[in-house]
Structure 1
Amino acid sequence: MRPTASARRAGGPIPAPPASAAAGPAPVDLREKVDQDRGTLKRLQLLVPGFRAYRQGEDIRAADSILRRQVADKIKNARTSAENARAALTQSGQFSVLMDLAPLISDLLTLEPKIRSAEQGYSGISPATRVGNADLDRLYEYDYGFVLAGDQLDQTLAPLPALAAGANAADLQRLVASARSQVSQLQQAF
């Protein structure tokens, strides 16, 4: 979910995350939700000169953390669909397709914790490179695209267990190939 180190250091444009062709409800901008849920102490912190930028940065980091957990949950749902399909294929004796499914499950098992535990863009007190609120906003926008990509992957793999129960191995292999392509795009963008 993070752009390359050179893109972050240069302060240049952050490349776009994988595009989503799936039509579904648009994800909610969690920055607004975090702003609305501020307690009295956090609102007071916004009034203190010098502390305002810190508070705003922390709020953006909190929203980004929630967003990344949502993406990781969508990848976990996709993995569950793939694992259910694996069980159905095993029960029906369609072992040839299992070889296609195993790398997909492995990739999903690797990608989920990587996204869930990604760093949040902190910088020290006097760093050589600062991570300001504008940078955090740009990173949030970048990560926001991953929600759409996670939705698309989840929707792609949702029919997999039903297909696995059927007898059409070609459809199953096409779906798995499509999902592997989506996972590969997510890994490259991350």
Structure 2
Amino acid sequence: MPRELTPIEQLQLLLPGYRGYKAKDLIRQDDFLVRRAVIDRLEQTIRIISEKESFIASTDPFSPQLKVMEFLISKIRELINNIMSSQGGGADIYARWKVTTEELDQIVNHDMKMIDIASQLVELAKNNRIEEFEPLLNDLRAVFYDRMKLFYPPELRK
């Protein structure tokens, strides 16, 4: 009977080059890979919504659904910008503070949640279920910010 993959093994299968935060100097690299994977999925979601939006605009330019789609695209772009512009992997702070094994496990679990949520958004967009986006976008934002806090010493987490 095959055993279930650990979160690190799942991420290694999903993200070529991901090493699981094993070495101090690789934390920023793995952090970048995870964030890039989430951003790629969010950008794919935007492309899918935009294609559907174009079709609706060509057939019914005054459809109220267009406004909803534009609002969602705007929220997704805002989240992409937050993910891209946040400091990567604790940056300079990590040099003065050691991330524990337990915290790395939490970071990996957050990584899996982020990729899972971003993948769900792609599927919802493909299936034209945009009414289900809002809670997932909020969950993704919350998981991302909780994850970023784990790269900092406990006294700096707020």
TM-score (ref. length: structure 1): 0.58
Which residue matches 1:169?
none
Amino acid at match of 2:51: N
Confirm or deny that 1:183 pairs with 2:152.
no
Deviation of residue 61 (structure 1)? 2.7
Aligned to 1:103: 71
Structure number with higher helix proportion: 2
Q: Quickly say closer, same or farther: Cα 1:34–1:153, change in 2 above 3 A.
A: closer
Give 5+ residue unaligned stretches, structure 2.
Answer: 1-8, 145-158
Aligned to 2:86: 118
Letter paired with 1:28? L
The number of residue pairs the alignment matches comes to: 129
Structure 1 distance, partners of 2:90, 2:108, is 10
Kindly indicate whether structure 1 or structure 2 has the higher relative contact order, using CA contacts under 8 Å at least 6 residues apart.
Answer: 1
SS of equivalent to 1:29 = helix
- TM-score, reference length from structure 2: 0.68
Amino acid of the residue matched to residue 46 of structure 2? R
8 Å Cα contact 2:45/2:125 also seen in 1: yes
Q: Which runs of 5+ in 1 are unaligned?
A: 1-25, 36-54, 161-174
- Structural RMSD (CA): 2.7
Moved over 4 A (4+): 30-35
Task: Give percent identity, aligned residues only.
Answer: 18
Question: Greater Rg, structure 1 or structure 2?
Answer: 1
Match of 1:153 among 121, 143, 152: 121
Displacement of 1:136 in angstroms is: 4.0
